[in-house]
Amino acid sequence: MQIRIVRRISMAEVQRRIAWLEGKYDGTIDDISDRFTDGRLGREAFEDYIEWMGMEHALRAYGEGEDFDYFTEDIVDLEKEELSKLTPRRLELMDQISRHRVESINELASRVGRDVKNVYNDLKILENLGFVGLVKEGRRLVPDLLVKEITFLTW
């Protein structure tokens, strides 16, 4: 099944993507801009350029004191096994995280009326799918929803 995912990516991932694009195009974003102007790059590089500009903008905004937020949209093919991991209880966890900032897995488990260990196991599966991050804050793990939108495209 194909799904469309709009998700937030970390600053470290943005920096890795920019480094990869600099290697791919052998230059900086300014060099690429000049090549577009001169007609030395074809339309196939346009999507990379647009993504690169967005990432650079997010990094500059962060440097000026704003929160770091960068979202990407991907079309992903989920195998039957991966799709089966999106159970109603796991979707409920993502829904709760999107509605209420929780300070710990314990708090999330309490909100949904489930055992902490089962909630933790479900969050680890969602983390492996790239839908949730688990951020260490002191001795606590705080669930962080990375997915803004999921759209099921084909069955």
**Are 95 and 71 contained in the same domain?**
no
- 99 belongs to a structural domain: yes
Spell out a b/e string for 40-66, using b for 16 or more CB atoms within 10 Å of the CB, else e.
ebeeebeebbebbeebbebbeeeeeee
- 36 belongs to a structural domain: yes
Higher pLDDT, 96 or 155: 96
**Are 42 and 103 contained in the same domain?**
no
- 154 belongs to a structural domain: no
**Are 38 and 91 contained in the same domain?**
no
**Are 90 and 135 contained in the same domain?**
yes
**Are 11 and 62 contained in the same domain?**
yes
Of 10-19, 34-43, 45-54, the poorest mean pLDDT is in: 34-43
- 152 belongs to a structural domain: no
Question: What is the enclosing helix (H) or strand (E) of 2?
Answer: strand 2-8
Total domains present in the chain: 2
**Are 67 and 115 contained in the same domain?**
no
Structure tokens at 22: 């600099």
Structural domain boundaries enclosing 56: 2-75
**Are 86 and 50 contained in the same domain?**
no
- 98 belongs to a structural domain: yes
**Are 7 and 70 contained in the same domain?**
yes
**pLDDT score for 155:** 61
pLDDT in tens, 108-154: 999 999 999 999 999 999 999 889 999 888 888 899 999 998 888 87
Where does a domain end: 75, 97, 119?
Answer: 75
pLDDT in tens, 60-117: 888 888 888 888 888 888 888 888 898 999 999 999 999 988 999 999 999 999 999 9
**Are 39 and 100 contained in the same domain?**
no
**pLDDT score for 110:** 95
Q: How far apart are the first and last CA of the chain?
A: 5
pLDDT in tens, 45-63: 888 888 888 999 999 888 8
Does the model's pTM come out above 0.75? no
Q: Give me the mean pLDDT over the 6-17 stretch.
A: 88
Q: Give me the mean pLDDT over the 22-39 stretch.
A: 81
**Are 70 and 90 contained in the same domain?**
no
- 44 belongs to a structural domain: yes
d(CA 49, CA 137): 36
